[in-house]
Amino acid sequence: MNIESLSTDAPSSPAPTPARSAPAVQISGLVRGFGVGDRRVRAVDGIDLVIDRGEIVALLGPNGAGKTTTLDTLLGFADPDEGEVSVLGRSPRRAVADGVLSALLQTGGLLADLTVGETVAVIASLHGADARAAGVMERTGLASIARRRVGRCSGGEQQRVKFALALLPDPDVLVLDEPTTGMDVTARRRFWEIMHEDARAGRTVVFATHYLEEAEQFAQRTVVMNRGRIVADAATAGLRSSLGGRTVSASLPVGTAERILAELRDDRSLAGPIDVSPGPDPLPGAVGALPMGLTRDGDRIHVRTERSDALAAMLLSLGAHDLEIAAPPLETAFTALTED
Amino acid sequence: MRISTVFFRVELVRQLRNPYTLAFTLAMPVAMYLLFGAGGEHADASAGKGNVAFYVMSSMAAFGTATAMSSLCSLAASEVRQGWGRQLALTPLTTTGYATVKVLTAVCFAALSIAVVFAIGACTGASADDPWRWLAVAALILAGGLVFGLFGLGVGLAVNSDSAAALASISISFFGFFGNAFMPLSGVMLDIAHYTAMYGYVALVRWPVTEGALIAGGADPLPVVLVNAVAWTVVFALLVRFGVLRSRRRR
């Protein structure tokens, strides 16, 4: 920590020892660009992020949003142009050397001519963790292919090798960049089971992914990046419902649909104020797509609202049946946040 | 600095099963020695303090060493610039530690190349006037070979990884031919050879036998040979410097 940050950022209470109380990840005012001079592009343009120990955080964003650059500075591969990054109260490189920070790299390469067993043994030995090698290979399902050359492994198997390498130092903070790329469904499920066991044991997991359902299922917290900035940072469940409310669907008594819809159009209190997007896509074969988040499909209506409970009560009192209330999928939130 | 013996052992084994490395650092020098040294018509003729077979054997061991050092060091640089370098950067291994392991591996391989060529030489009639001349030649080969490690490192850093290894080995063959390591050059070719990268190295390596005398007649004074060796060491060091700057800029 330098003098300047002491004078401006120091908390009023006496600073406790960083190793004990520091958050897992602390990023403040991070700026990092590429290129030289006038052509320098800000890949990350001023982000602040604090991640506590034991959290599982998903980092989402379209290509070029700055996710990989953020992770690169978090791992010490790139230095910030501005701002500071610390992991468990120390510099990223220090954290790596201490064995408390590890990662599964998207662009991380393996040597094709080494066997799986040799690869794990080499990295384990560099961490001074030779004793853990066998257990980690067992856990990641590599024991049976230990003698196979890495170049002959499938994409999913190579991904598991990288996963094993990331687990070798038994890190407190684990960074995963597109971790399940190339894995089949079973391997992906197994992967996240292991991650959850580890998070319960106190390991912090930060992962970037293109699979929104992975963020939805496995991350308690989701950070959405776009154009080098953080555009949303919330509990994953909250992020889903914060945007666009919920969709209430119900089948109405025969012949009443038009009248009820007309009432809802007149009285915006229950169907509004949803005007950010035209609502859920009309179902296949839907007729009479209506504006402002109202659609009708025969006797069934779909209404997007932020007052789903009140609307549901009203519809039920009018004789509606087969009522469903659904939060929009994360994809809807994601699209709304990152579309220009 | 933490160096792991497992890392070192795996690196050695890797190169031992790499057909490319084996062909260029072991098979090729041995084959060239057998063809032009032991199998040549003047094998038993004197080349100064040893016979022609010994002279050719020394040249070929030097060439094998230069090849081993340059190709292994260029591979080391290419690997670290690719994903594997990022993987290693996530361990406590330092750049110095990495370089130490890689250079040790290359030196071991060079020593293996020398041992094999010398063993075959000893069995096929290569002889020197005194036993220490064998040791002196081997020591000069190993020490001078480090310079070609610099060359390989520089190429590996400066050139994109796909072509680095090929460029390094083609250059070494070129240096070998024009450095008077293979067939004895004469005339204008020999004049040009004095300025090329391997000339000083092989001339120094053969010094315990030739004491500067040239097969084509005449002799090189020691300072000429030394100036060549030192000048090219500086050039290769500058190449490494350039490579480091270039690979940094690319990040």
B217 and chain A: CB distance < 8 Å anywhere? no
Ranges A37-41, A69-73, A154-158, B165-169: which has the least confidence: A37-41
A12: confidence class by pLDDT, cuts 50, 70, 90: very low
Examine the pLDDT at A275 and tell me if it is beyond 60.
no
pLDDT at A123: 95
Examine the pLDDT at A7 and tell me if it is beyond 80.
no
pLDDT at B227: 96
B6–A113 CB contact, under 8 Å: no
Residue A276 lies in a domain: yes
ipTM value of the model? 0.84
Structural domain boundaries, residue A271: 244-338
B84–A111 CB contact, under 8 Å: yes
**Averaged over A53-73, what is the pLDDT?**
90
**Averaged over A307-327, what is the pLDDT?**
87
Examine the pLDDT at A242 and tell me if it is beyond 70.
no
Side chain identity at residue B78, one-letter code: S
**Closest Cα of chain B to A72: distance in Å?**
10
pLDDT at A332: 72
**Averaged over A271-288, what is the pLDDT?**
40
Between these two residues, A256 and A146, which has the higher pLDDT value? Answer: A146
pLDDT at A276: 35
Structure tokens at A253: 């008594």
HEC assignment per residue over chain A = CCHHHHHHHCCCCCCCCHHHHCCCEEEEEEEEEECCHHHCEEEEEEEEEEECCCCEEEEECCCCCCHHHHHHHHCCCCCCCEEEEEECCECHHHHHHCCCEEEECCCCCCCCCCEHHHHHHHHHHHCCCHHHHHHHHHHCCCHHHCCCEHHHCCHHHHHHHHHHHHHCCCCCEEEEECCCCCCCHHHHHHHHHHHHHHHHCCCEEEEECCCHHHHHHHCCEEEEEECCEEEEEEEHHHHHHHCCCEEEEEECCCCCHHHHHHHHHHCHHHHCCCCCCCCCCCCCCCEEECCCCEEEECCEEEEEECCHHHHHHHHHHCCCEEEEEECCCHHHHHHHHHCC
Examine the pLDDT at A197 and tell me if it is beyond 90.
no
Q: Which residue of chain B comes nearest to A69, CA vs CA?
A: B251
Q: Which residues of B touch A103 (CB under 8 A)?
A: 90
Residue A307 lies in a domain: yes
Q: Which residues of B touch A113 (CB under 8 A)?
A: 14, 17-18
Examine the pLDDT at A281 and tell me if it is beyond 80.
no
Side chain identity at residue B84, one-letter code: W
B90–A105 CB contact, under 8 Å: yes
Residue A157 lies in a domain: no
Highest average pLDDT, of A309-313, A326-330, B50-54, B94-98, comes from: B50-54
**Closest Cα of chain A to B198: distance in Å?**
31
Examine the pLDDT at A4 and tell me if it is beyond 90.
no
Q: How many domains does chain A have?
A: 1
Q: Mark which residues 122-161 of B lie under 8 Å from A by CB.
A: none
A40: confidence class by pLDDT, cuts 50, 70, 90: confident
Mutation test of the interface with chain A: which of B91, B96, B250, choosing the one with the most A Cβ atoms within 10 A?
A: B91
- How high is the mean pLDDT of chain A? 81
A110–B5 CB contact, under 8 Å: no
Q: Which residue of chain B comes nearest to A117, CA vs CA?
A: B10
Structural domain boundaries, residue B14: 5-250
A218: confidence class by pLDDT, cuts 50, 70, 90: confident
Q: Which of B58, B23, B53 is nearest to B39 (CA)?
A: B53
Examine the pLDDT at A19 and tell me if it is beyond 70.
no
Residue A288 lies in a domain: yes
Residues of chain B with pLDDT under 50: 1
pLDDT at A271: 58
Examine the pLDDT at A127 and tell me if it is beyond 90.
yes
Q: Which residue of chain B comes nearest to A104, CA vs CA?
A: B87
B10–A110 CB contact, under 8 Å: no
pLDDT, tens digit (0-9, with 9 covering 90-100), for B45-97:
888 899 999 999 999 999 999 999 999 999 888 888 777 888 988 999 888 88
A105–B87 CB contact, under 8 Å: yes
**pLDDT-above-70 percentage for chain A:** 83
**Closest Cα of chain B to A110: distance in Å?**
5
A108–B83 CB contact, under 8 Å: yes
Q: Which residues of A touch B7 (CB under 8 A)?
A: 122, 125-126
Examine the pLDDT at A214 and tell me if it is beyond 60.
yes
Q: Is the dihedral of CA A306, A312, A317, A322 positive or negative?
A: positive
A14: confidence class by pLDDT, cuts 50, 70, 90: very low
**Closest Cα of chain B to A108: distance in Å?**
4
Residue A216 lies in a domain: no
Q: How many domains does chain B have?
A: 1
Residue A1 lies in a domain: no
Q: Which residue of chain A comes nearest to B13, CA vs CA?
A: A114
**Closest Cα of chain A to B173: distance in Å?**
26
Alpha helices (runs of H) in B124-186, residue ranges in sequence order: 131-158, 161-178
Between these two residues, A141 and A273, which has the higher pLDDT value? Answer: A141
Q: Which residues of A touch B84 (CB under 8 A)?
A: 109-111
Structure tokens at B123: 């069995």
B4–A111 CB contact, under 8 Å: no
Q: Is the dihedral of CA A209, A214, A216, A218 positive or negative?
A: negative
**Averaged over A126-134, what is the pLDDT?**
92
Residue A111 lies in a domain: no
B96 and chain A: CB distance < 8 Å anywhere? no
Nearest to B6 among A75, A113, A125 (CB): A125
B95 and chain A: CB distance < 8 Å anywhere? no
Q: What is the pTM of this model?
A: 0.78
Q: Which residues of B touch A79 (CB under 8 A)?
A: none
